[in-house]
Amino acid sequence: MVHAVLQQAVAGFYADLVTRPTGRAVRENIERDLPPGSVAVMDFSGVGCLDYSCADEIVAKLVRDKVKVLLLRGLTDAHREAIEPVLAGAGLAVLCERADGALEGLGASEPTPALLDELVERRLAANPNQVDIGKKLALLEDADAALFLASGMGATALAHLAVLRPGDHLLASEWIYGGVHRLFREEFGKLGIEVSFVNPTQQRTWKRAMRKTTRAVFLETPTNPLLRVIDLEPVATLCKAEGLALIVDSTFASPVNFRPLEHGADLVIHSATKYLNGHTDVIAGAVAGTDQVVDEVRRLMQVWGQAIDPFAAWLIDRGMRTLTVRVRRQNEIGLAVAEWCAKQDAISKVHYPGLPSHPDHEAAKRILGGFGGMLGIELKGGVRAAERFLKGLTIAAHAPSLGGVETLVSEPRLTSHASLTAEQRAQAGIPDGFLRFSLGLEDPDDLIADFAQALARH
Ligand SMILES: Cc1ncc(COP(=O)(O)O)c(C=O)c1O
């Protein structure tokens, strides 16, 4: 039991404090901040003799960082001799991993059952990788707190359940990710939460659609796939006046291009699967807002089993290190490709908020930090022309995700809008033959050349 719990608690890269034979690595680890209450691992495998002053310094740091449990690995008798006196009286719970993998306490310092319970709770809610990326996102969004969850869908569901109760009404934009639409339509009713949908670009419809029981408003901006940019301020003013929570899915913008809390939103949601991670190898979601609401999301996350995996959290940490450079570059690439597309005879319409022809161009200039790497195009000749063009493309992969370093193209008629008829799609402004690109980090000249040769087959 003890062994299983600790294995889970320390899983992933965040083996917090790992000694290595070189002084520099030890120094770097000593200087790294550990989240309070974490499990620290000191791995002595391959470490020759132990320098007492270094051991002193490490233990002082562990105490300072309020580490709960110290797990010692690869300990030889010589190491034990050096470390035991330093650890004596430090107040840390210390475990040694024997060569056969079994754990034993060091001295009288074995963790208590209460502490082990807490470690289980931490595994569900606060592994150190999760704590780190939550802090980063809170800083980026200028939020009190942020929390990562197992998926964007999980984050969306629990953000809403944190503020809604049975009998409440949710007013949602009708231009939202298909999976979320389905969640609202198929599941929320069973929980006693009614949902109705409005066109988010018509400000007056929000007010008209409100009911006495309305408790929250949800919208996505920029929208998928038309990239309409919603001006949050009028909606936020209305929500404040009526005492409603404003929840905004800001996945398409990422915090580099838009920070909804600065515009009056109460809660921000991300599918971290997309730009926050940026490498198309993780499924995760995030919620940012006040301490009180994020705490409630955390509680629900434990109860509903929506905790992010520590390794996924570590991958997101890696992805977030390049978030700003990636998104800024994607803003440049987006604009270059959109401007080129706008000049092509074979393309009947280009949807990109950075183009003056876009219906929200003025709002986008005012609200967004950049126009993003998402682009919609319509080809003359509808589905057949789009299919020929798709077959000719050599760089863009045909896949439904977005926000990664590689360019992807998808057809809303087969993905996000598959549940609508062709007429309904046309009415929603997404005629069959509409193509949505998520531009990656390839050279824009290469992307344009690839578009050009694929259009030439048109
Ligand atoms: C805008 C938006 N929100 C939420 C989601 C759901 O996120 P996930 O796939 O991480 O569950 C998606 C997925 O495509 C999305 O595009």
Q: What is the CATH number of the domain that holds 409?
A: 3.90.1150.10
DSSP string, 164-219: --TT-EEEEESSS-HHHHHIIIIIGGGGT-EEEEE-TT-HHHHHHH--TTEEEEEE
Q: How far is it, in rounded angstroms, from Cα 220 to Cα 227?
A: 10
Interhelix angle 128-141/310-320, rounded to 10 degrees, is 40
For residue 288, how far is its CA from the centre of ligand 1 (angstroms)? 16
What pLDDT does 302 receive?
A: 85
This prediction has a pTM of 0.78
> Is 280 in the same domain as 363?
no
Q: Does 301 share its domain with 269?
A: yes
Distance of CA 184 from the midpoint of ligand 1 (Å): 14
Same domain, 9 and 27: yes
Closest Cα to atom 2, ligand 1: which residue?
Answer: 177
Residues facing residue 437 across a β-bridge: 375, 409
Along the 458 residues of the chain, how does pLDDT read in single tens digits?
A: 344 433 333 333 333 333 334 445 555 555 566 666 666 777 777 666 666 566 677 777 777 777 777 777 778 888 787 778 878 777 777 878 777 766 677 765 556 666 655 555 555 656 778 888 999 999 999 999 999 999 999 999 999 999 999 999 999 999 999 899 999 999 999 999 999 999 998 888 999 999 999 999 999 999 999 999 999 999 999 999 999 999 999 999 999 999 999 999 999 999 999 999 999 999 999 999 999 999 999 989 988 989 998 889 999 999 999 999 999 999 999 999 999 999 999 999 999 999 999 999 999 999 999 999 999 999 999 999 999 999 999 999 999 899 999 999 999 999 888 877 888 888 888 999 999 999 999 999 999 999 999 999 85
Q: Cβ–Cβ contacts within 10 Å for residue 62, how many? A: 25
Q: Does residue 351 share a domain with residue 220? A: no
> Which string of b and e fits 154-192 if b means at least 16 CB within 10 Å?
bbbbbbbbbbbeeebbbbbbebbbeebbebbeeebeeee
pLDDT at 129: 84
For position 124, what pLDDT does the model report?
Answer: 63
151 and 281 belong to one structural domain: yes
Residue found under tokens 């960082």: 65
- Give nearest CA residue, ligand 1 atom 7: 152
Together in a domain, 223 and 333 = no
Q: Which of 274, 306, 436 to mutate to test the pocket of ligand 1 (most atoms within 8 A of CB)?
A: 274
- Cα separation, 14 vs 387, whole angstroms: 46
Could you give the C-alpha distances from 122 to 113, 117, 297, 452, in angstroms and in order?
A: 14, 9, 15, 52
For residues 224 and 275, membership in a common domain is answered with: yes
Model pLDDT, residue 106: 72
Nearest CA to ligand 1 atom 9: 152
Residue with tokens 């200087």, as numbered in its chain: 31
Report CA(372)–ligand 1 centroid distance (Å): 17
As a whole number of angstroms, the distance between CA 238 and CA 226 comes to 25
| 229, 360 Cβ separation under 8 angstroms | yes
Residues 118 and 144 grouped into a single domain: no
Enclosing domain of residue 328: 324-456
Nearest CA residue ID for atom 8, ligand 1: 152
290 and 329 inside one domain: no
> What are residue 267's DSSP bridge partners?
247, 289
Measure the CA–CA gap between 267 and 295, rounded to whole angstroms: 12
- From 55, 87, 122, give the residue that closes a domain: 122
Domain total of the chain? 3
Residue 267 shares a structural domain with residue 305: yes
Nearest ligand 1 atom, CA 252: 1
One domain, residues 112 and 130 = no
283 Cβ inside 6 Å of ligand 1: yes
